[in-house]
Amino acid sequence: TAKERQSGVEVYDAAADGHDRGRLVLLSEFRRGMAEGHLVLHYQPKVSLRTGAVVGLEALVRWEHPTRGLLLPGDFLPAVEQTGLIEPLTDCVLDLALAQVRAWTEQGVAVPVAVNLSARSVHRPDLPARVLSALASHGIPAGMLRLELTESALVAEPARARDVLGRLHSAGVSLSIDDFGTGYSSMGRVKNLPVSEVKIDRSFIAEMATTTEDAALVRSVVDLGHELGLTVVAEGVEDPATAAALAELGCDVGQGYLYAAPMGAAEMTDWLAGRLP
């Protein structure tokens, strides 16, 4: 906060005030940008490490800012996540992703899409209803949508999160644990959730060729994941040697710059041509 009270004297912190004002400007621009259709999705393929087939896409939000150019989630999500704007963002991303799935379906391209959920969204009691109405309004079967969430999202109110996830799962939406291996991760917790996929955080993938501990973690997540019947995805696969090492360990799916960087929908349509059955 800009002003702190210290024994009755107001201390003015100019740096903090500038920071707060910047944040407020960003948030009000964001609200307008979202209403004016400046949020767009880029898509990145998830590829079978065994066959090379595309098994799905992840949708990643970007903000086409009128003066600052294309902004990445890291530029605005942390501020947005602290406000009530995160819920409209989740709704907006769901609508954009499902409209695109619909467009691809109409072109004969059937590819499931994963959408990221912020921790707050996982605690929204109306999330399952919102997701199902978005699916219905775009005429998309639930099996075409996957939701990615981090385990930290489940720590605050596990009972509420479990209820929301259970209802999504029952409706046929697949759930995925993102950034696995960081923070509060534990297979013990995942085991008790209706999830079908874990994504190993890219920090472990980047180091697995050179660091024994990271390779060991990847190996144990793959083995434990398979024992629990989960699909195991490696994020941030950047080179063929890492892809080969992952395939050797039995990891199911890779995602990363080796295959493709995230790209706009039109570019993805071209990229997919000839790569899908």
Give residues in contact with Ca ion (CB under 5 A).
116, 148, 178-179, 235
Footprint of ligand C2E on 69-88 (CB under 6 A)? 72-74, 77
On whether the CB atoms of residues 202 and 257 are closer than 8 A, the answer is no
Q: Is 166 in the site for ligand C2E (CB under 6 A)?
A: no
Find the shortest distance in angstroms from Cβ 256 to Ca ion: 11
At 46, the amino acid letter reads K
Q: Which does 256 bind (CB under 5 to 8 A by kind): Ca ion, ligand C2E, none?
A: ligand C2E
Q: Which residues does 25 contact at the CB level (< 8 Å), separation at least 6?
A: none
Taking residue 66's Cβ as centre, other Cβ atoms within 10 Å add up to 11
Q: Read off the tokens for 272.
A: 């997919």
Find the shortest distance in angstroms from Cβ 47 to ligand C2E: 11
Q: What angle do CA 223, 228, 232 make, to 5 degrees?
A: 55
Distance CA 177, CA 188 (A): 13
Find the shortest distance in angstroms from Cβ 104 to ligand C2E: 18
Q: Which is nearer to ligand C2E, 93 or 246 (CB)?
A: 93
Q: Is 184 in the site for ligand C2E (CB under 6 A)?
A: no
Distance CA 263, CA 221 (A): 29
Q: Is 60 in the site for ligand C2E (CB under 6 A)?
A: yes
Q: Is 264 in the site for ligand C2E (CB under 6 A)?
A: no
Exactly one of 179, 197, 214, 252 binds ligand C2E (CB under 6 A); which one? 179
Distance CA 44, CA 56 (A): 9
Going by the DSSP 8-state scheme, the letter that residue 263 receives in this structure is B
Exactly one of 178, 197, 214, 252 binds ligand C2E (CB under 6 A); which one? 178
Q: Which does 225 bind (CB under 5 to 8 A by kind): ligand C2E, Ca ion, none?
A: none
- Radius of gyration of the chain from its Cα atoms, rounded to whole angstroms: 20
Exactly one of 111, 168, 256, 268 binds ligand C2E (CB under 6 A); which one? 256
Q: Is 262 in the site for ligand C2E (CB under 6 A)?
A: yes
Find the shortest distance in angstroms from Cβ 28 to ligand C2E: 20
On whether the CB atoms of residues 56 and 43 are closer than 8 A, the answer is no
Distance CA 135, CA 35 (A): 21
Q: Is 54 in the site for ligand C2E (CB under 6 A)?
A: no
Q: Which is nearer to ligand C2E, 73 or 194 (CB)?
A: 73
Residue closest to 205 by CA, chosen among 221, 229, 189 = 221
Binding-site ranges for ligand C2E (CB under 6 A): 44, 60-61, 72-74, 77, 93, 116-118, 148, 178-179, 202, 235-236, 238, 256-257, 262
